Amino acid sequence: MSARKHMTGVVDIDTIEVDGRFLRVGKRDGQRGVTPLLLFNGVGASLELVEPFVAALERSIGVVIFDVPGVGGSPTPRTPYRFSGVAHLGDRLMLKLGFDGTVDVLGISWGGAVAQQFAFDFPKRCRRLILAATSPGALMVPGKIGAIVKLASPRRYTDPDFLRRVGADLYGGAYRKNPELLHHHARHIKPSGGLGYAFQLLAGAGWTSLPWLHRLRQPTLIIHGTDDPIVPLTNAKIMASLIPGSRLHVIDDGHLFLLSRAKDVAPMISSFLLEDKA
C-alpha cells in the first residue's frame, strides 16, 4: 500500500509499507535501461539532506532513498534492528517499487556500512557499490573524540544554534570555512526522535565488515575526504586494500563532501555508474 505525500522538486515522497513497516521513501524516476541507485543515508539524517546531491546526479539515473525506521518520517520501531535488517528492507523496498533486477548501491557514513552489508548479503542483486565517508565498522580507525561525542546525540538535528557552534569541528572540510553551509545543511534535514537515533547507533554495535570485504566482487568506488573528523581517511585506504579491484578517490574536503561538493562529486559518481553504458 502506498499513499502519495508530496513532491519536493527533486524526488517524489511516498509512504510505503514494506514487511509490516511504513517507510517514508523518496524516488526519482530514471531512464529505461539504466540501473537504479539505492541510497543509504547517514545516522539521524532524513532523505531531504541528500537532495542537493540527487539533483546534481545525472538525470538518467533513477534514485530511491528512504528514512530508516525511527528517523525522519518513518515511524520508530518497537525493537532495535541491525545493519542486515536495513539492507533487507532496502532490498524488499526495491522489489515493492518494481525493481526486481540488479541495483546500484551508495552508502554515506552510517549508510556506508549498510551498503557494504547489502553488497555482501545480495551479491547478485548489487551491481555496483559506492562508499562515501564510511568505515569497516567497529574495528575502524577512530575519529576525533570530540566529534564522536557530539555524534552520539541527535541534538545537531534539533538545535540550529548547536549545529552552528559544533558543525565546523564535527564535519570538517568546507564547513570550517563557510558558515553558510551549516545554514543550508539545517534547512535540508527533518529532525529524528531520540529513540530512533539510538536504534540507529545500536544497529552497528560490534559490527565489522573486515572479515569479508575481500569477498565483495562488485566494482566499488570509495570516496573520502582529507579532513574528516568523524571517519579518518585511513579507513578508506584499508577498505580499498581489501575490496578487490576497488577504486579510491580522495577529495580535499570533510565528512559531508557529498553535500558541500555535490556538483563536483555527482558527475564522478554518475560516470562510474554509467561507464558501461557508453
Residues known to be catalytic: 109
Determine the Cα–Cα distance for residues 240 and 232; give it in Å rounded to an integer.
14
The C-alpha cell at 33 is 535501461
Give the Cβ contact number of residue 95 at 10 Å: 13
Determine the Cα–Cα distance for residues 136 and 96; give it in Å rounded to an integer.
29
Provide the total of helices (H) and of strands (E) in the chain, helices listed first.
Answer: 12, 9
Q: Is 102 left (phi over 0), alpha (psi -120 to 50) or beta?
A: beta
Q: How far is CA 67 from the centre of its chain?
A: 10
Name every residue whose Cβ is closer than 8 Å to that of residue 178 and which is 6 or more positions away in sequence: 260
User: What does R_g of the chain's alpha carbons equal in angstroms?
Assistant: 17
DSSP string, 82-127: -HHHHHHHHHHHHHHTT--S-EEEEEETHHHHHHHHHHHH-TTTEE
18 φ, ψ (degrees, to nearest 5): -130, 115
Direct distance between the N- and C-terminal alpha carbons of the chain, in angstroms, rounded to an integer: 37
